[in-house]
Chain A
Amino acid sequence: MNTEQRFWNPVLETMPLEKIRELQLKKFRKIFDWAYNHSKFHRSLYDKAGIKPGDIRSMDDIRHVPKVEKSMMRDIQRKDPFPYGDALCVPLEEVVEFRQTSGTTGQPVYQPDTWQDWDWWAESWAFILWAQGYRPSDRVFIPFGYNIFVAFWAGHYAAEKLGCEVVPGGVLDTKARILKIQELQATAMMATPTYVLGMADTARDKLDIDPSSLTIDKITCAGEPGASIPTTKKRMEEAWGAKVYDHAGATEIGAWSFECTEQSGGLHVNEALFLVEIEDTETGEIIEEPGKRGKMIITALDRQAMPCVRFDSKDIIEWSPEPCPCGRTFRILKGGVVGRSDDITKVKGVLLSPSAIEEVVRGIEGLSDEFEVIVDKVGDVDRITLKIELQPDAVSQQESVQRQLVDQLRLKTNLGYKLEFHDYGTLPRYDVKAKRFRDLRKNH
């Protein structure tokens, strides 16, 4: 095998756009037909809309297919065939994997996969890892809890598929994981941005190890947008002396996007396995042109046990005007997933995205990686409190850090904040996904 080959699939990844659309249409018709004929839930949804499989003849026709929302999946679950309900398209005995969503936005959704689906998960991840420079010579350490969340499970299987040596970091604690990376001279790692930064802190503060002195040369992030936020990416890359690559995926969708080694400021959509549409949140029109943000409607074109057809992911994305210099024709989403339509909240009449605050905090030297944002009301007026920590060696710089924070926050978010400086190490630390944003107004 030629490990210099840049592409996992040199045909699919460089196919002209019109051919990709042709492939997507062909596959969409197939998965729509599959869902219509095997899932009562999907058939009922499509019958109500008056759409049958033969009606899909063009990409425009796809836009008339009703969207599926997560709340709809929640409603049908925990019923027969238990626990997946009637969106299940295969006999229960063909289901070999159970996973569930993290429940960040409500009751978790249960996700069944057949072995073919599970192979497909690993295949989607194989595109990602190959594009990020993983090769058979890599020893990949996965510091992940191996549990009911899909997280890095398929990354593990994909790394094996590539021929890498995989070290499962399972139940080890953070210190033991770092020592194992050191002992085995692991070259690659997969984790959430929060954990990548947390591990670096632990290495320095508790083990007196400079993480950049370890042998990790690439890190694949998922689960949070941090690796597409330039200031957070920079912190991770500097801490570990490694390239940090983003990937976005979801339990009910699959591993649908990836950053490649060019790091061109966005995520490639794997358009051979997924159809991504961007919908204008106000008009409902599909956005084709670059530079205009909307929410993602996504179809997993080959997933069978519980199909994902025009799923309203709530992710906010936009097409990049520039192709990636890597040569892939898979389109790029500028800045990755830039927010979620259900995360973006109005404060004092201004739209606020938590990732904009993260970008500011992580861009100021002297601040630790941790922060917390609380939105509440004082009387009728919204208030945003930003809790931050100074690095131990930056305590004397509080005044200057505060000035930079106020200026940058005003510039990037158009809002004023109540700033609270806390002692280093006193704000909550997270092992997987962080919960740094709390809107208390919604609880009243």
Chain B
Amino acid sequence: MTQQNELVEMDAKIQTMKKAALELESMADDFPALSRNLARVLSSLKMLELNITDILDL
């Protein structure tokens, strides 16, 4: 069974990835290949949040 501290650690890594993706996105205005692939990355990160982050504060 996954423990609360493991979930916290997982979430921290998800948030690090999200921060990096958002920073990249802010640099992607003139770079469609970056911009559109990041849109997908951010959607995938949202799925990680549904599975991990949303449970944390219960």
Q: Is A9 an interface residue (CB 8 A)?
A: yes
Q: Name B23-58 residues within 8 Å CB distance of A.
A: 39-40, 42-44, 46-47, 50-52, 54-55, 58
Q: A11 contacts which chain B residues (CB < 8 A)?
A: 1-2, 7, 51-52, 55
Instruction: Give the docked Cα–Cα distance between A26 and B50 (Å).
Output: 12
Q: Which residue of B lies closest to A123 (CB)?
A: B47
How far is the CB of B20 from the nearest CB of chain A, in Å? 18
Q: Which residue of A lies closest to B1 (CB)?
A: A10
Q: A14 contacts which chain B residues (CB < 8 A)?
A: 1
Q: Is A384 an interface residue (CB 8 A)?
A: no
Chain B residues within 8 Å of chain A by Cβ, number: 16
Q: A115 contacts which chain B residues (CB < 8 A)?
A: 39-40, 43
With A11-B7, A115-B43, A119-B44 given, is the CB distance from A23 to B55 under 8 Å?
A: yes
Q: Which residue of A lies closest to B4 (CB)?
A: A11
Q: B39 contacts which chain A residues (CB < 8 A)?
A: 115
Task: Give the contact-size bracket for chain A.
Answer: 20 to 34
Q: Which residue of A lies closest to B54 (CB)?
A: A23
Q: Name A301-332 residues within 8 Å CB distance of B.
A: 302
Q: Name A207-230 residues within 8 Å CB distance of B.
A: none
Mask: chain A, 94-119; 1 = CB below 8 Å from B; 0 = not: 00000000000000000000111011
With A119-B47, A120-B50 given, is the CB distance from A12 to B55 under 8 Å?
A: yes
Specify which of A19, A23, A123 lies most central, judged by the most chain B CB atoms within 10 Å of its CB: A123
Beyond the given pairs A12-B51, A19-B58, A22-B58, 15 more chain A to chain B contacts, judged by CB atoms under 8 angstroms and listed by A's residue number, are A11-B2, A11-B52, A11-B55, A12-B55, A14-B1, A23-B54, A23-B55, A23-B58, A26-B54, A26-B58, A27-B54, A115-B39, A119-B44, A272-B50, A302-B50
